[in-house]
Amino acid sequence: MAQAVRADFPFQEILCCPDPTGRRLQTSSAMGLSNHAILQKYSFRINAPRAPWSIRDKVSATRLMIRDANGHRRLKVDPRCKRVIRSLSKLEYRAGASVPDPKSDHSHMADALGYACIALQKGLLPWSLGVTGFRVS
């Protein structure tokens, strides 16, 4: 995957906000590297916390980016991102639970989006939000 993305965007800076467990040397890669090491090999920048964020924090961060209490939207999903849209619209919750069901077929993309949203809100990214969008700090 990293090789294909890098081939499509050879000169772009690519920033990843992965799950921190990707640092472990448990990967099915033939190279015997961790997931983070593979991404770094292809010049991806990685911003991952040392410990996983709680599911509740990721859900709150995503909801806040979609629409905050004042009705402001800071996250727009391109209509061509069919899998993200499907994941967000069909995400399932267990009865009586306030977090998504991890066994749901639609939780993976929403979880990935949650890592990016929480990284933005926790200041892990090298950009600041401005009036016209993202600015490099």
Model confidence pLDDT, tens digit, residues 15-26: 888 877 766 655
Enter the DSSP assignment of 132: T
Strand-pair category, 127-130 with 44-46: unpaired
Residue 5's pLDDT is 92
Residue 131's pLDDT is 45
Residues 54 and 46: beta-carbon distance below 8 Å: no
Q: Taking all residues of the chain, what is their mean pLDDT, rounded to a whole number? A: 79
> What is the per-residue pLDDT across 69-113, written as a single tens digit (0 to 9) for each?
899 888 888 899 999 899 888 888 878 877 787 777 778 888 888
Q: Which two tokens stand for residue 15?
A: 């920033």
Residue 103's pLDDT is 76
Q: Which has the closest alpha carbon to 75: 106, 118, 11? A: 118
Residues 86 and 106: beta-carbon distance below 8 Å: yes
Residues 49 and 20: beta-carbon distance below 8 Å: yes
- Gap between the Cα atoms of 93 and 124, Å rounded: 28
Residues 20 and 57: beta-carbon distance below 8 Å: no
Rg (CA), the chain: 16
